[in-house]
Amino acid sequence: GAVVSQHPSRVICKSGTSVKIECRSLDFQATTMFWYRQFPKQSLMLMATSNEGSKATYEQGVEKDKFLINHASLTLSTLTVTSAHPEDSSFYICSAVVMGGEQPQHFGDGTRLSIL
């Protein structure tokens, strides 16, 4: 149980392209999903918290117009990196959790984004 699917697993695209990453909870309803960014040999850094049906809460220093988050259903959240540039190249990971419970976050397999 508690499977989180993330797609695509890898994206390589040109500078200026917008890239959409999907995060799905496959066997549970996730009222809250989280988006993280991880640079090589570093820990996970929280970018934003996504609650179903409401606006995402962004961490300090994360541009909300750059990283668009949509959580339209209880099983799907999307992160769109708009007009991506080489400095946006990173490993993006989502996680999901059922609000109000003791259950820990379960993570997707991540998306490796490479901007040329």
Partner 1 sequence: GQQLNQSPQSMFIQEGEDVSMNCTSSSIFNTWLWYKQDPGEGPVLLIALYKAGELTSNGRLTAQFGTTRKDSFLNISASIPSDVGIYFCAGRRINNAGNMLTFGGGTRLMVKP
User: In this complex, which beta carbon is closest to partner 1, that of residue 32 or of residue 75?
Assistant: 32
AA identity, residue 27 = D
Region near partner 1 per CB under 8 A, out of 11-19, 56-64, 66-74, 76-84: 56-64
Whats the size of the chain, residue-wise? 116
AA identity, residue 100 = G
Give me the 36-55 binding string for partner 1, x by CB under 8 A, dash otherwise. Answer: -----xxxxxx--x-x----
Number of shown-chain residues binding partner 1 (CB under 8 A): 29
User: In this complex, which beta carbon is closest to partner 1, that of residue 42 or of residue 73?
Assistant: 42
Query: In sequence order, what are the beta bridge partners of 92?
Result: 37, 111
What tokens appear for 100 in the block?
């109000």
Task: Verify cis geometry, omega within 30 degrees of 0, for the bond prior to 40.
Answer: no
Q: What b/e readout covers 3-24, taking b as 16+ CB neighbours within 10 angstroms?
A: ebbbeeeebeeeeeeebebbbb
Among 11, 21, 32, 115, binds partner 1 (CB under 8 A): 32
- Interface residues with partner 1 (CB under 8 A)? 4, 6, 32, 34, 41-46, 49, 51, 57, 59-60, 91, 93, 95, 97, 99, 102, 104-110, 112
